[in-house]
Amino acid sequence: MTAKELFDKAATALSSAQLLFKSGDFDGTCNRAYYAMFDAARAALLVADGNESALAIKTHGGLISAFSLRLVKSGAVSLELGKSFNKVEDLRLVADYKGDPVETEQAQWAVDQAKIFVEVLRALSGF
């Protein structure tokens, strides 16, 4: 998969998150917002590293760790953006596995953060 394909996939997930939010499905919103960020992070790592190593990462934690080490700690991406990636993943875990309800404000925040994240990484990567 190419970086462009991953950014396109991230854009689709972001659109889905926005639609799910409008329909009142806040768990689904958080899931799709996270995956928008996940795919954008993979794409940005693919561009930054110039090889396929980002595609070889097998776990969510591995991707978040690589993103933090390669893009946040280097200063290419702000610490705030890195933290939002972690927090949206936490919301997804609550929504998908813990069964606790996600509040409207949390879901809106997740969509807003995913939109910023995808836009920043797309621009940083030259797409």
Mean pLDDT of the chain: 94
Report yes or no on whether pTM surpasses 0.75: yes
Residues across the chain: 127
**Mean pLDDT in residue range 9-33:** 97
Residue 90, CA distances (Å) to 8, 102, 116, 119 in order: 24, 11, 18, 21
Please tell me the distance from the alpha carbon of residue 29 to that of residue 16, in angstroms, as a whole number. 8
| Percent residues over pLDDT 70 in the chain | 99
Domain 3-124 - what CATH class?
mainly alpha
Which residue do the tokens 């879901």 mark? 107
CB neighbour list of residue 72: distance below 8 Å, 6 or more residues apart: 78, 79, 81, 82
| Percent residues over pLDDT 90 in the chain | 87
Please tell me the distance from the alpha carbon of residue 72 to that of residue 15, in angstroms, as a whole number. 25
Instruction: Give SS3 for 78.
Output: coil
The band of 101, judged by pLDDT with boundaries at 50, 70 and 90, is confident
The band of 91, judged by pLDDT with boundaries at 50, 70 and 90, is very high
pLDDT tens for residues 32-89? Answer: 999 999 999 999 999 998 767 777 888 999 999 999 999 999 999 999 999 999 999 9
Q: Which two tokens stand for residue 56?
A: 């070889």
Q: Is the pLDDT of residue 96 over 80?
A: yes
DSSP string, 101-126: PPPHHHHHHHHHHHHHHHHHHHHHTT
